[in-house]
Amino acid sequence: MTKKHISFQLNGRPVDALVEPRELLVHVIREQLGLTGTHIGCETSHCGACTIDLNGDSVKACTVLAMQADGGDVMTVEGLADNGALHPLQEAFMQEHGLQCGFCTPGMLIRAYRFLKKNPNPSDEEIRTGMSGNLCRCTGYQNIIKAVKAAAEKMQSA
Amino acid sequence: MSTSTEKLEREEKLEGIGCSRKRKEDPRFIQGKGNYVDDVKLPGTLFADIVRSPYAHARIKSINKDKALAVPGVHAVLTAADLKPLNLHWMPTLAGDVQAVLADEKVHFQYQEVAVVIADNRYIAADAVDLVEVEYEALPVLVDPHKAMDADAPILREDIKEKADDGKGAHKHPNHIFTWEVGDDEATTQAFNAADVVVTEKMYYPRVHPSPLETCGCVASFDKVKSHLTLYITSQAPHIVRTVVSLLSGIPESKVRVISPDIGGGFGNKVGVYPGYVTAIVASIVLGRPVKWIEDRMEHLSTTAWARDYHMTGALAADKEGRIKALRVNVLADHGAFNSHAQPTKWPAGLFSICTGSYDIPVAHAKVEGVYTNKAPGGVAYRCSFRVTEAVYVIERMMDILAQKLGIDKAEIRRRNFVKPEQFPYHTALGWELDSGDYPKALQKVLEAVDYDGLRREQQEKRARGELMGIGLVTFTEIVGAGPSKACDILGVGMFESAEIRVHPTGSVVARMGTLSTGQGHQTTYAQIIATELGLPSEDIQIEEGDTDTAPYGLGTYGSRSTPVGGAATAMAARKIRDKAARIAAHLLEVSADDLDWEVDRFKVKGVPGQEKTMKEVAWAAYNNVPDGMEMGLEATNYYDPPNFTYPFGAYLCVIDIDKCTGEAKVRRFYALDDCGTRINPMIIEGQIHGGLTEGFAVAMGQQMPFDEQGNLLGNTFMDYFIPTFVETPFWETDYTVTPSPHHPLGAKGVAESPHVGSIPCFTSAIVDAFSHLGVTHMDMPHNAYRVWRKIHELGLDKHE
């Protein structure tokens, strides 16, 4: 299959890739660009383990073609920390025990990142709705809600 | 002299048993630096993808690989015929049966593995899978287990139909796997005949799937020059996998290295060996390159180990006051096409005989009959110890039904029948020795916390207004921590657990265990155990698991066995080190070891303030100044064979409001009190309980794997199969009591599965309770809106006046 050249911003750095038109963005990020923090849990956009930020929206990278990211701005979990300083969400997930096996965590974090940008001071109910595209099998969500709330408070007061 | 404050400060610095230490695992997971199996990238890796059967039962007439092999980038297409010369077309299961690696002449369930394609990447492999042409001749399908032993039932397993007895008793029918009976049949019958009251109920525990967020997969890498196989695999039991792989392949165990990297959840699904693993290994050996196989979600739900599928009939005999005289349970177990459930060898129905629950039942009898059907193999313990969820469900349902029959409150009927605190250790009618418990205290605490009487009053008022509100109550006892090797083995290996601890000269520690964390936080909690036992800070203790080349042999993590067995091994190994350290300290202080007291992190000479040596100082001395005749170094290994299982328990209460128009059941309140004995890390325990309750909620309220008459699986994506999201998941309230296990070195019992086991009957209890005043005694799961609405409709409750 003929490959196409694409380029986009990944976590603030320009990257290039040669991809088949049918290739999924999540495979290009994980396998070509070597960032394996973004996971694949269902390949049908139900579970959210592959959630990334594309042009200011949360998207599920298992059902986005790499071609669709051409010229775009992508952020993955690896881009959350700032020069080694953890993002308040990362800190809060650790403090509030918002993760167990860790498989859903990158998708949760990157979704929460965009969610808080759009709703910086959410209620528990708003967090439940806003995060409902991301599944977790370990935590029962309760501590994730606490973590998102704690991070929101910290970011508000910063 | 050390003040108690100073002592407390030293203790706190250790971050030992009982503190909510933050998890050591988290920094890598929150930064996307976990290392799950699909993240493993070896140079030259090829990808495997599997051709699966569209039929549930069919003969394979021919397989044509030509078109698939013609695709550029395809390296091989393997079928049973290719595996046959290597004798790898069938593999042993953990239950003593065999399972086809690739279908041998016929397929036994839909999505069964028929051929495997090996290609340069996953896209090419998927393309080629579509081009493998398989011609099938459809056969009559057996879906209903009740018909499995009919005279005219299709015979599923032609490979073993001649085998009259496989060590588990005579076969009544070629589709009969086993009949397992326990207890006193005759005495039970007599007790039933003599009883004032008898209640009987049929209930179906649906087939459900553990569905961890990470599917199964592996990377097999065979080094032809060294004849060495490395296998990265999503396994909860890497050491057993190595043994199985070695037995299957003939490669010595010393040349097989199995690495379970970070695991994205297991819940019992990642204990067994799947055909995909075997085909990846064979392909790597044949092609001399690493081969990666990662299944997709549909493959995962359709073919890997599911749980339950028990058709149960429970019966209780009691006197007029509700005191139980006898219990009888009969089960028809649908095992699918191959008997590959994960159980200790001697227990064909696992630990199902814990079905006498928390109650003092004088006599009981349980019978479980397993049969083959044209469905995927499985029957594993989904977040529970072996078949314990089923057992707890049947007894807890029957307690409610007995209460209802006698008009006694469901809390009161439990109180009247509890094994009393002074009766422990208590021998159950079906052969277990419950180690410790205080059931009345747990129940009382919950009833007070939720104002049970107030809830009952509210329910009365609502019923008068025609509203549906249900209160569920469960007081469960689990059996976990398998197990004593005289009772439990897997493939002949006793179910011990192991720990190896090495204290370095500077007092830092590396410890390795035979278990494997799949999210439970072993790197955090095992370090806490060692910190308390050795007086060295948790922060300096590194825990490693999952690499069979470095970790001592262990049976793995499932059935809540890490803390009861692995935690015990860790404590015992640490105690060996402390004993040696005491002798070194005595030598340094020029006293006898008997003259020393251990205090938090140091040895002190009795009655001589200031004469002391810290463990850190002793560690240094262990490498340069030990008593004459003592070996240098400070390390120990322990293989712990537990004297008994542990029996965690709890009392759960659930309040549900049901919408009469839609059938939707809203969990208003769920209060879970758990007693897991000594608590190592309360934060982690609470997290485990939240997770277990949520998985219990999933099973009770929505999960099921339905099949049509042709054996087509009707729910194998996340669109159809219920995984609760943030929105449906209730808010959980947790509480605890502490009744230590008398036989565990730390008094700990294990906890992660209790909330799953305990919550499921509690949801059913609440749903049925909403209708109990209308004579409803039981409703089968899942309690989804449609099924609940059907009951409402059947009772005419949705009719407008």
CATH code at B280?
3.90.1170.50
As a whole number of angstroms, the distance between CA B25 and CA B543 comes to: 10
Helix/strand/coil for B586 = helix
- Residue B592 in domain: yes
Domain total in chain A: 2
Of B370, B397, B381, B479, nearest in space to B430 by CA: B479
**Closest Cβ opposite residue B23 in set A38, A40, A97:** A97
Asked whether the beta carbons of B564 and B533 are under 8 A apart, the reply is no
Phi-psi region of B714 (alpha: psi -120 to 50; beta: other; left: phi over 0): alpha
Whether residues A62 and A17 fall in one domain: yes
- How many A×B Cβ pairs under 8 Å? 173
Q: Give yes or no: B753 in active site.
A: yes
Whether residues A75 and A127 fall in one domain: no
Asked whether the beta carbons of B656 and B470 are under 8 A apart, the reply is yes
Hey, are the CB atoms on A105 and B30 less than 8 Å from each other?
A: yes
pLDDT tens sequence across B155-192: 999 998 776 555 566 789 999 999 999 999 999 999 99
For residue B165, what pLDDT is reported? Answer: 57
List the single residue in B with minimal CA-CA distance to A79: B31
Last residue of one domain, picked from the residues A61, A79, A97: A79
* Backbone φ and ψ of B170, nearest 5°: -70, 150
Residues composing chain B? 801
Please report, for the domain that includes residue A40, its CATH number: 3.10.20.30
Which of A30, A38, A83, A100 should one mutate to test binding to chain B, selecting the residue with the greatest count of B CBs within 10 A? A100
pLDDT tens sequence across B595-636: 999 999 999 999 999 999 999 999 999 999 999 999 999 999
Q: Where are the alpha helices (DSSP H) in B418-553?
A: 439-450, 452-464, 522-534
Mean pLDDT score of chain B, rounded to an integer? 96
- In which element (H, E) is residue B613 found? strand B612-614
Asked whether the beta carbons of B643 and B530 are under 8 A apart, the reply is no
Whether residues B783 and B650 fall in one domain: yes
State how far Cα B329 lies from the chain centre: 23
For residue B168, what pLDDT is reported? Answer: 60
Q: How many CA atoms lie within 13 A of B760 on its CB side?
A: 30
Whether residues B119 and B254 fall in one domain: yes
Last residue of one domain, picked from the residues A27, A48, A79: A79
Whether residues A64 and A95 fall in one domain: no
Q: What is the DSSP string of A44-64?
A: SSSS-TTEEEETTEEEEGGGS
Of B135, B116, B139, nearest in space to B63 by CA: B135
Taking CB atoms within 8 Å and a gap of at least 24, the contacts of B782-786 are B782/B206, B782/B699, B782/B700, B782/B701, B782/B702, B782/B703, B782/B704, B782/B722, B783/B665, B783/B700, B783/B701, B783/B702, B784/B663, B784/B701, B784/B702, B784/B722, B785/B662, B785/B663, B785/B664, B785/B665, B786/B663
Hey, are the CB atoms on B687 and A143 less than 8 Å from each other?
A: yes
Residues composing chain A? 158
**Closest Cβ opposite residue B718 in set A42, A86, A140:** A42
Whether residues B394 and B311 fall in one domain: yes
Asked casually if ipTM beats, i.e. exceeds, 0.90, the reply is yes
Which of A33, A137, A145, A146 should one mutate to test binding to chain B, selecting the residue with the greatest count of B CBs within 10 A? A137
Structure token pair of residue B195: 């009883």
Q: What is the CA radius of gyration of chain A?
A: 16
Which of B19, B31, B121 should one mutate to test binding to chain A, selecting the residue with the greatest count of A CBs within 10 A? B31
List the single residue in B with minimal CA-CA distance to A94: B26
**Closest Cβ opposite residue B519 in set A76, A133, A138:** A138
Residues 6+ apart with CB under 8 A from B188: B326, B327, B328, B363, B364, B365
- Residue B206 in domain: no
pLDDT tens sequence across A92-104: 999 999 999 999 9
Last residue of one domain, picked from the residues B600, B617, B640: B640
Whether residues B314 and B444 fall in one domain: yes
Whether residues B347 and B449 fall in one domain: yes
For residue B171, what pLDDT is reported? Answer: 86
Last residue of one domain, picked from the residues B607, B640, B673: B640
On the question of pLDDT at B801 being above 80, the answer is no
- In which element (H, E) is residue B631 found? none
Asked whether the beta carbons of B207 and B704 are under 8 A apart, the reply is yes
Whether residues B630 and B651 fall in one domain: no
Give the structural domain span for B418: 307-482+644-794
Strand order in the sheet with B217-223: B74-79, B113-119, B46-52, B291-294, B217-223, B228-233, B256-259
Structure token pair of residue B153: 């039932």
Confidence of residue B2 (pLDDT cuts 50, 70, 90): low
Pairing status of strand A57-60 against strand A73-75: unpaired
Please report, for the domain that includes residue B449, its CATH number: 3.30.365.10
**Closest Cβ opposite residue A99 in set B30, B38, B686:** B30
SS (H, E, C) B448-487: HHHCHHHHHHHHHHHHHCCCEEEEEEEEEECCECCCCCCC
A-facing residues of B in 620-679 (CB < 8 A) are none
For residue B513, what pLDDT is reported? Answer: 97
Of B596, B604, B439, B573, nearest in space to B509 by CA: B573
On the question of pLDDT at B800 being above 90, the answer is no
CA distance to partner chain A, nearest, from residue B596 (Å): 39
Whether residues A11 and A73 fall in one domain: yes
Residues 6+ apart with CB under 8 A from B382: B208, B209, B210, B267, B268, B269, B306, B307, B308, B389, B695, B699, B756
- Residue B741 in domain: yes
Centre a 10 Å sphere on the Cβ of residue B167 and count the other Cβ atoms it contains: 8
Which residues of chain A neighbour B32 with C-beta distances below 8 Å?
A: 35-38, 76-78, 106
Residue type, B593: A
* Backbone φ and ψ of B336, nearest 5°: 80, -165
Which residues of chain B neighbour A42 with C-beta distances below 8 Å?
A: 296-297, 717-718
Angle, CA of A143, B36 and B40, to the nearest 5°:
160
For residue B164, what pLDDT is reported? Answer: 58
CB of B72 less than 8 A from some CB of A? no
A-facing residues of B in 717-776 (CB < 8 A) are 717-719, 723, 725-727, 729, 731-732
Angle, CA of A26, A31 and A32, to the nearest 5°:
100
Last residue of one domain, picked from the residues A79, A111, A143: A79
As a whole number of angstroms, the distance between CA B604 and CA B116 comes to: 65
Strand order in the sheet with A4-10: A13-19, A4-10, A73-75, A51-54, A57-60
pLDDT tens sequence across B406-444: 999 999 999 999 999 999 999 999 999 999 999 999 999
Residues 6+ apart with CB under 8 A from B151: none
* Backbone φ and ψ of B615, nearest 5°: -60, -35
For residue B167, what pLDDT is reported? Answer: 57
- Residue B703 in domain: yes
Confidence of residue B490 (pLDDT cuts 50, 70, 90): confident
On the question of pLDDT at B559 being above 90, the answer is no
- In which element (H, E) is residue B549 found? none
Helix/strand/coil for A18 = strand
CA distance to partner chain B, nearest, from residue A37 (Å): 4
* Backbone φ and ψ of B317, nearest 5°: -110, 135
As a whole number of angstroms, the distance between CA B548 and CA B516 comes to: 11
State how far Cα B527 lies from the chain centre: 23
Give the structural domain span for A152: 88-157
Whether residues B23 and B61 fall in one domain: no
Residue type, B352: F
Whether residues B521 and B436 fall in one domain: no
Asked whether the beta carbons of B512 and B544 are under 8 A apart, the reply is yes
Domain total in chain B: 3
For residue B674, what pLDDT is reported? Answer: 98
Active-site choice (B19, B218, B355, B384): B384
Whether residues A68 and A111 fall in one domain: no
As a whole number of angstroms, the distance between CA A59 and CA B501 comes to: 45
Whether residues B446 and B433 fall in one domain: yes
Which of A11, A23, A103, A132 should one mutate to test binding to chain B, selecting the residue with the greatest count of B CBs within 10 A? A103
Of B619, B589, B382, nearest in space to B505 by CA: B619
Give the residue-averaged pLDDT of B489-506: 94
Q: Give yes or no: B10 in active site.
A: no
pLDDT tens sequence across B207-252: 999 999 999 999 999 999 999 999 999 999 999 999 999 998 999 9
Whether residues A75 and A8 fall in one domain: yes
Hey, are the CB atoms on A101 and B687 less than 8 Å from each other?
A: no
Whether residues A55 and A103 fall in one domain: no
- Residue B178 in domain: no
Give the residue-averaged pLDDT of B762-791: 98
CB of B262 less than 8 A from some CB of A? yes
What are the helix and strand counts (H, E) for chain A? 5, 5
Whether residues A65 and A127 fall in one domain: no
On the question of pLDDT at B42 being above 90, the answer is yes
Give the residue-averaged pLDDT of B757-770: 98
Which residues of chain A neighbour B521 with C-beta distances below 8 Å?
A: 100
As a whole number of angstroms, the distance between CA B371 and CA B358 comes to: 30
Whether residues A45 and A106 fall in one domain: no
Whether residues A65 and A28 fall in one domain: yes
CB of B691 less than 8 A from some CB of A? yes
- Residue B492 in domain: no
CB of B682 less than 8 A from some CB of A? no
Whether residues B524 and B612 fall in one domain: yes
Asked whether the beta carbons of B222 and B228 are under 8 A apart, the reply is yes
pLDDT tens sequence across B44-103: 999 999 999 999 999 999 999 999 999 999 999 999 999 999 999 999 998 889 999 999
Please report, for the domain that includes residue A142, its CATH number: 1.10.150.120
Hey, are the CB atoms on B211 and A44 less than 8 Å from each other?
A: no
For residue A158, what pLDDT is reported? Answer: 80
Active-site choice (B679, B753, B762, B787): B753
Whether residues B455 and B572 fall in one domain: no
Hey, are the CB atoms on A137 and B267 less than 8 Å from each other?
A: yes
Asked whether the beta carbons of B545 and B562 are under 8 A apart, the reply is no
Q: Give yes or no: B383 in active site.
A: yes
pLDDT tens sequence across A49-73: 999 999 999 999 999 999 999 999 9
Higher pLDDT, B93 or A87: A87
Pairing status of strand B649-658 against strand B468-477: antiparallel
On the question of pLDDT at B120 being above 70, the answer is yes
pLDDT tens sequence across B687-734: 999 999 999 999 999 999 999 999 999 999 999 999 999 999 999 999
pLDDT tens sequence across B340-394: 987 888 889 999 999 999 999 999 999 999 999 999 999 999 999 899 999 999 9
pLDDT tens sequence across B282-298: 999 999 999 999 999 99
Strand order in the sheet with B649-658: B468-477, B649-658, B665-675, B733-736
Whether residues A61 and A108 fall in one domain: no
- Residue B153 in domain: no
Active-site choice (B207, B383, B561, B578): B383
* Backbone φ and ψ of B223, nearest 5°: -95, 105
Whether residues B512 and B659 fall in one domain: no
Hey, are the CB atoms on A103 and B265 less than 8 Å from each other?
A: yes
Last residue of one domain, picked from the residues B622, B640, B658: B640
Hey, are the CB atoms on A40 and B23 less than 8 Å from each other?
A: no
Higher pLDDT, B249 or A148: A148
